[in-house]
A and B are shown apart, each in its own frame.
Chain A
């Protein structure tokens, strides 16, 4: 379990490099997936809700510092996303979640919450249609991120060593 804690932090940096250099190349009409979210959901489900919440906070802090976003906005949204993902860390069902499309649904749910909260705290203009904002800034990137969650399902070991 302790090695998982270390890996969750170590993996963040190469993934952030990929997120900021390669992921923009696969954007569809400006919609980009969030690889960090897939990692966060994976570790929140593996290590529990408290760890997921704290990990979301750390990921958000590092992301805000490194990318120049409004400091605190991603911290807040990723903390909430990690907390929600942690709800699905039930030891008995975890294996089933990781091996099925349910993992993608969890990634989608957490992504939407993350994106909507992050947009809200970045002071989105409320004159713009909220339904449109929810769709364009929450659901579309959420679907794209969830699709990338399929890699976790594909490469998750058949029998977990731990």
Chain B
């Protein structure tokens, strides 16, 4: 018997090792959501990100000059816009005062820098140089001056990992800014798409898409992208709407974390699963 196993091992050891390692990988995939796996992961990326942040700082210095020039131009344009908006602001404040409404537009922002990027086609992630110590928690939306970048997925003390919009595991409720049509937006590995949109709904190329108030994760309107076209037009009763994101995921370096994790409770059930996770950790 021993000789038999010995012969099998000698002849097929490469295949036996391969199969064992593949089985371990498959088992590991099923352990992704376990708290122990999350702890190991936050420890691993936290320690590694300390090194990448140094390199990232050096790399970013090169781009500062051009960044400064474009920011100056943007500043001038915004100054003109602010001047215009100030008038509306005063008028708005007066009207709100008359109606007794409170101003709810001030969102807390935490500034951060991208220290590393994993730009795989299916699992786009960023590592940011801000973490629990800065008040970052899983579920917080990440934005830049163009729009929504992604959602914080896990945090260590000083760093956090963000799932970008180009990540298969991130799905969000969004809406057409013009026609208010709502739908689920996801990354399908090649395009950012709104899925299962009835053919009768009013969506046109060029429409701006923003996050919807119905979303259990991001219920404040943040610009996401613009419609570039419809697919699956010939078949079925649903269209798929292709969206061109406003954010350039390759060039993004500086971001802001919106320091809120929305609570959406319906029939006593917390709909925002990030909020459920935080509650579990606090318990």
Contact = CB atoms under 8 A, between A and B. Distances in A.
Nearest to A135: B190
Contact of A118 (B44, B48, B117, B122): B122
Interface of B: 13-14, 17-18, 21-22, 24-32, 37, 40-41, 44-45, 48, 51-52, 55-56, 59, 115-123, 125, 127, 153-154, 161, 163, 168-169, 186, 188-191, 249-250
A49 B186 CA distance: 39
Q: Tell me the interface secondary structure of chain A in the complex.
A: helix
B59 A118 contact: no
A125 B188 contact: yes
Nearest to B115: A21
A80 interface: yes
Interface of A: 13, 16-18, 20-22, 24-25, 27, 30, 32, 49-50, 53-54, 57, 60-62, 65-73, 75-76, 79-80, 83, 86, 115, 118-119, 121-125, 127-128, 132-133, 136-137, 141
A20 B127 contact: yes
A74 to B, nearest CB: 8
A128 B14 contact: no
B55 A21 contact: yes
A68 B22 contact: no
Nearest to A71: B32
A120 to B, nearest CB: 9
B190 A72 contact: no
A54 B22 CA distance: 10
Given A20-B127, A67-B118, A73-B123, A80 B250 contact: no
10 contacts: A13-B48, A18-B55, A21-B56, A50-B14, A67-B123, A68-B45, A68-B154, A75-B28, A76-B25, A76-B26
